[in-house]
């Protein structure tokens, strides 16, 4: 399940094709044009039916795994208002609901589990419970509490609680992790909750991709607070992680019933690791290309049932 032109999905599809594993590339945005499906539910029987793309027809009863790789859903350009809202809901709950109901099917990841794992405050609370070093964090819309937090910790950063497709005049924009001072806080913070954290004096970032039992650790060196600002300035080093940390990461994913996740951590001058966040459906294609790590093969192993 992917979007049109998704090069990361291409990597997994190519790996499965090379192994001669039957695979269907499903792009929900094509629904009604090149994609159709029927599912049948009857008393005492598992869900059955077929799904047809432009190139093949899939027997839903034979599906053993699904990679939910950021599918894009139809935009229904001819609809608007309540009609558009209704159509989008029917699409997600119809096709999506049928696919998550397939018996014995390995989901990477189960969309329902992934949604639960995407709440930043929950991520932080669980990370702290499992023994990760979590920076002191405040989630609030109260100006006085925010000002008190910044004053107490001095160096503080602001992060978004949830990524959204943020646009102005059709131009895509990003909301970066930024340092913040008391002087920048005003009454506008009262509109929504905001996430503030004490800044970690890091020397490097870590991107750890866990796929099933396989763990890929990469150190990212840069002078940036938020390394996503300039990928061209980054230096990558493949690293081995301490066994204890690897176990903690796997336990974390198990808690949320996830088969895959991309963890953002950082390391300080003492060599201590600090929790930043989990991306439950994080991007990994670029880091595989930069490092040569066999992450696509790990996905193929998981989907094929080899690990």
Q: pLDDT, tens digit, for every residue of 250-290?
A: 999 999 999 999 999 999 999 999 999 999 999 999 999 99
The C-alpha R_g of the chain, in whole angstroms, comes to: 21
Q: How many C-beta atoms surround the C-beta of residue 93 within 10 A?
A: 10
Per DSSP, 229 falls in state G
180/191 Cα distance (integer angstroms)? 18
Q: Identify whether residues 227 and 175 lie together within a single domain.
A: no
* Count of domains forming the chain: 3
Is 5 within 8 Å of 74 (Cβ atoms)? no
Residues 186, 190, 194, 199: is their CA dihedral positive or negative? positive
Q: Identify whether residues 174 and 255 lie together within a single domain.
A: no
Q: Where are the alpha helices (DSSP H) in the chain?
A: 7-18, 81-91, 97-99, 111-117, 120-129, 143-153, 243-255, 285-291, 295-304
Report how far Cα 288 is from the mean position of its chain's Cα atoms.
16
Residue pLDDT, tens place only, 209-257: 999 999 999 999 988 778 777 788 889 999 999 999 999 999 999 999 9
Q: Identify whether residues 176 and 243 lie together within a single domain.
A: no
- For residue 146, the enclosing domain spans 136-198
The answer to whether position 126 is within a domain reads: no
> What percent helix, strand, coil does the chain show, rounded to 5?
35, 25, 40
Q: The pTM is what?
A: 0.91
Tokens of 112: 């329902």
């Amino acid at each position: 399940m992917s979007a049109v032109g998704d090069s990361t999905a291409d990597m997994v599809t190519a790996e499965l094709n090379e192994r001669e594993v039957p695979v269907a590339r499903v792009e929900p945005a094509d629904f009604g044009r090149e994609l159709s499906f029927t599912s049948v539910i009857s008393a005492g029987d598992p869900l059955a039916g077929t799904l047809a793309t432009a190139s093949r027809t899939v027997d839903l009863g034979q599906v053993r795994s699904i990679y939910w790789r950021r599918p894009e859903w139809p935009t229904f350009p001819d609809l608007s208002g309540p009609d558009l809202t209704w159509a989008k809901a029917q699409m997600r709950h119809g096709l999506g609901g049928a696919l998550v109901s397939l018996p014995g099917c390995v989901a990477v990841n189960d969309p329902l589990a992934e949604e639960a794992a995407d709440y930043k405050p929950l991520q932080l609370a669980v990370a702290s419970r499992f023994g990760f070093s979590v920076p002191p964090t405040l989630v609030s819309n109260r100006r006085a509490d925010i000002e008190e937090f910044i004053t107490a910790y001095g160096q503080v950063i602001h992060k978004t609680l949830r990524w959204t497709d943020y646009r102005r005049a059709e131009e895509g924009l990003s909301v970066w992790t930024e340092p913040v001072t008391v002087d920048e806080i005003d009454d506008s913070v009262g509109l929504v909750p905001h996430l503030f954290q004490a800044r970690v004096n890091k020397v490097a970032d870590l991107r750890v991709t866990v796929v099933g039992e396989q763990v890929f650790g990469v150190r990212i060196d840069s002078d940036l607070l938020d390394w996503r600002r300039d990928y061209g300035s980054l230096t990558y080093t493949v690293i081995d992680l301490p066994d204890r940390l690897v176990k903690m990461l796997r336990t974390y994913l198990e808690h949320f019933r996830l088969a895959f996740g991309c963890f953002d951590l950082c390391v300080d001058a003492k060599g201590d690791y600090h929790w930043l966040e989990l991306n439950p459906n994080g991007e990994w294609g670029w880091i595989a290309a930069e490092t040569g790590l066999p992450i696509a093969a790990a996905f193929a192993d998981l989907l094929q049932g080899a690990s």
